[in-house]
Amino acid sequence: MKTKILSLIFVIIFVFSLVACGADGTTNNNGDTNSPNATKYNYDLTKYVTLPKYKGETIEIDGDFLQQTIDTVVQNYATPKKVEAGMDIYVDLKFTELKYIDVDQTIDQKGEVIESLGKTNFLIEDFGSGKYNKTLEELVLTWNPLITKPQEKMVTLPDEEMFGEYAGKKVYFSFCYSNDECRLGDVVKVDYTGYYSDENGNIKLNEKGEKMAFDASKDATFYLGSHLAIDDFENGIVGMRIGETNKKQIYATFPADYGAEALNGKRVIFEIVLKEIYTAPEYNDELIKKMGYETTKEFEDTVIAEALNEDLYKYLIEKSVVIDYPELEYKDYENFLKKLDESYMKTYGYTFEAYLNGVLGKTKDQYIKEVMLPELVHYAIAQAEDLVPTEEQIKEAREKSCNEFALEYMKLNTSLTYEQAYVMGEEYVNKNVTYADIHQDALYTLVESFVKENCGVKVTEPTYESVTNKK
């Protein structure tokens, strides 16, 4: 089924059918059904809906959406940061004596730390330049250690005066890169808790004196400078060092239009621990090939095409004016929801209407009209442009429906192969999805393809400069 059009009813019917498949309400592909609209809107719809202009219109694609999609791809392919030549780094170095526990000196173990050679948290400028000790710097670079995890290896110390009696001898050498100050362009893993702020700028407490948190996460990943999180949060992480001892409080203000009533425009406090730092890859053709695309342009064109589907749908729905809702189809939906009420009561102990009211905050009337609106618009355009799906297009729509149900089955049972799930999806479609529903899916696709062919597309300029573009 076309999830963007019937997403809620799709999920509800699908889940219920898995629980009570074979109950009253089964259908067949001949169009005989007691689900709504076995035959749909086969009369003049001009007195029910006024359509917006769509021929020659330009549909705008949000440039921020495109950029954030790119940033998300880059973030997902970040790799743990490693020591590289030219870095100015703080390091923790430690040399440990090597002892042998057998006469043949083949079984070694660590002894005591060699205090005279031990170093703690000191700066090496231009690591690899030899300003500290060329031999050791080159040794560390050959390991290419992760910046967040100490590494230890048995090495032979250079035969140099600075190593005193240990010069030329084998020791255990541990190296921990501790210049874990993150920068814009890094991908970071953090633990954080978000707290409400009181009027004095302190963490708000409840009546029991407990901190009032609104969110918390462990191992959350953020791409600093990509604007995938609110700016105050990203900017506050910049400059942090790794470790619990470097826990930081960040004061942040959510945008007024953030989208959550409890947080819109609110000032909050985050407690953050930086755990790991990753290097974001270059955004180029090589990266994008890992996703199955040949070029960044092909990938971006795909994102734009998918965004166009959503924006075009939104445009058609928001700009259309419903004069009245057809009584026949409205009654069909009322009858269908009554049967759904009965099924819900038998299975869950409450009605579907109770679910609508309690969880979604909608009445049945609001829900029916929300479902009917896109139907009216698409069927009205089909009438106006004399668009009728071919049998081949209907076949393609049916295969797409089988695929979508197969994916739902795979979510419910991860042990299923796609082939097994597709067979189950096909069986479900044969038994429970009407020809009229498949025909509607094909009609929607045909209408939207027609409108896209007759309108222009423009990607707006992003409102921010992503760190991806600066690489």
For 263-279, write each residue's pLDDT tens digit.
999 999 999 999 888 99
Domain with CATH 3.10.50.40 in the chain: 186-279
Residue 22 has pLDDT above 60, yes or no: no
Q: How confident is the model at residue 93 (pLDDT cuts 50, 70, 90)?
A: confident
Residue type, 263: L
Q: How confident is the model at residue 194 (pLDDT cuts 50, 70, 90)?
A: very high
The pLDDT tens digits of the residues spanning 145-180 come to 676 667 788 888 878 887 788 888 888 887 777 666
Number of Cβ within 10 Å of residue 426's Cβ equals 17
Q: How far is CA 11 from CA 8, 349, 366, in A?
A: 5, 19, 18
Closest CA to 66 of 232, 222, 177, 227: 227
Counting residues of the chain whose pLDDT is more than 90, the rounded percentage is 48
Residue 16 has pLDDT above 50, yes or no: no
Number of Cβ within 10 Å of residue 97's Cβ equals 16
Read off φ and ψ for residue 13, nearest 5 degrees: -65, -40
DSSP label at residue 1? -
User: Which position has the token pair 């429906």?
Assistant: 401
pLDDT score for 35 = 39
Residue type, 346: K
Residue 39 has pLDDT above 60, yes or no: no
DSSP label at residue 23? S
Of 1-5, 54-58, 284-288, the range with the highest mean pLDDT is 284-288
Residue 347 has pLDDT above 60, yes or no: yes
pLDDT score for 2 = 37
Q: How confident is the model at residue 241 (pLDDT cuts 50, 70, 90)?
A: confident
DSSP label at residue 210? -
Nearest-10 Cα torsion for 35, 41, 43, 49: 140
Q: What does CATH list as the number for 186-279? A: 3.10.50.40
CATH class as words, domain 89-177: alpha beta
Number of Cβ within 10 Å of residue 351's Cβ equals 17
Number of Cβ within 10 Å of residue 413's Cβ equals 10
* Cα gap 124→132, rounded to integer Å: 6
The pLDDT tens digits of the residues spanning 311-337 come to 888 888 999 999 999 999 999 999 999
Nearest-10 Cα torsion for 151, 153, 156, 160: 10
The pLDDT tens digits of the residues spanning 377-412 come to 999 999 999 999 999 999 999 999 999 999 999 988
* Residue-by-residue DSSP string for 106-122: -SEEEEEE-GGG-EEEE
C-alpha atoms less than 13 angstroms from C-alpha of 161 in its C-beta half-sphere: 0
* Cα gap 337→35, rounded to integer Å: 9
pLDDT score for 179 = 62
The pLDDT tens digits of the residues spanning 102-149 come to 888 888 888 888 877 766 666 778 878 877 777 777 777 777 767 666
What does pLDDT average to over the chain?
84
Structure tokens at 177: 């890169």
Residue 195 has pLDDT above 90, yes or no: yes
Structure tokens at 296: 């960044």
Read off φ and ψ for residue 86, nearest 5 degrees: 95, -10
The burial class, CB within 10 Å (0-12 / 13-18 / 19+), for 391 is: exposed
CB 175 within 8 A of CB 151: yes
Specify which residues 89 forms β-bridges with: 124
Higher per-residue confidence, 2 vs 106: 106
What is the mean pLDDT of the segment spanning 425-432? Answer: 92
Read off φ and ψ for residue 205, nearest 5 degrees: -110, 150
CB 419 within 8 A of CB 13: no
* Cα gap 421→413, rounded to integer Å: 9
pLDDT score for 11 = 38
